[in-house]
């Protein structure tokens, strides 16, 4: 009889613990759902993280970004000629980077993106009359610029990471902008305000 009472008590304790665990899971799910709604409703604000020891004179992020933004604005206006000029300007700026002044960590991070940036800027610079081709390279260049900002800073300016779901044959593509207003470099005058701000980089 004593064993039976102990067995019933243990069973009751287990059932109570399971019910509490289920209730806790339900609470977690409700919290997660609310958080998800909040994150979808508002774009993220993220700091432009930089690699320790990086200085403006080492990696001219502000100058590289200036060429990129000039290019973005030209493509948004369907102006392949100005986009090409911006591409040439970016190539010239990238050539000025003093690789010897970089630390090993900086060198690795920069080399991961430098060759790609140069290649895409060169293609855009050499194809003033082929805006479709320029925009294809701008998709990849924008990813490199996002990495540049992440690793070496935003040149002291607030930037916006925008996203167009229709670019890149419907796969979507990002770009970096200096203004909050959407000015789509992939669709230009066809759909100038297609897209949304995904991150604010300060």
Q: Note the pLDDT of residue 43.
A: 60
198 and 177 in contact (C-beta within 8 Å)? no
169: left (phi over 0), alpha (psi -120 to 50) or beta: left
pTM of the complete model: 0.74
- Domain segments of the chain as ranges: 61-156
CA-CA distances (angstroms) from residue 89 to 74, 117, 139, 147?
Answer: 13, 12, 18, 20
**Residue pLDDT tens, the chain, 202 long:** 444 444 444 444 433 433 343 444 334 333 333 333 333 334 666 555 554 444 434 788 999 999 999 999 999 999 999 999 999 999 999 998 888 888 888 889 899 899 999 999 999 999 999 999 999 999 999 999 999 999 999 989 999 999 999 999 999 999 999 999 999 999 999 999 999 999 999 9
Please give the DSSP secondary-structure letter assigned to residue 187: T
Q: Note the pLDDT of residue 6.
A: 45
- HSE at residue 52, side-chain half, CA atoms within 13 A, is 2
Q: Note the pLDDT of residue 104.
A: 87
């Amino acid at each position: 009889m004593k064993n039976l009472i102990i067995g019933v008590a243990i069973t009751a304790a287990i059932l109570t613990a399971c019910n509490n665990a289920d209730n806790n899971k339900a609470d977690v799910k409700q919290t997660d759902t609310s958080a998800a709604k909040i994150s979808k409703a508002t774009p993220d604000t993220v700091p432009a993280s930089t690699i320790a020891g990086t200085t403006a004179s080492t990696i001219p992020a502000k100058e590289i970004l200036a060429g990129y933004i000039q290019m973005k604005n030209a493509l948004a206006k369907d102006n392949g000629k100005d986009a090409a000029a911006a591409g040439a300007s970016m190539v010239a700026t990238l050539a000025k980077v003093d690789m010897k002044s970089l630390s090993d960590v900086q060198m690795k991070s920069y080399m991961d993106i430098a060759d790609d940036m140069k290649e895409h800027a060169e293609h855009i610079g050499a194809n003033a009359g082929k805006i479709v081709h320029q925009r294809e390279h701008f998709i990849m260049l924008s990813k490199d610029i996002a990495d540049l900002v992440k690793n070496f800073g935003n040149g002291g300016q607030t930037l916006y990471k925008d996203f167009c779901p229709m670019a890149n044959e419907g796969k979507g593509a990002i770009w970096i902008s200096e203004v909050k207003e959407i000015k789509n470099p992939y669709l230009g005058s066809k759909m100038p305000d297609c897209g949304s701000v995904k991150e604010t980089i300060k």
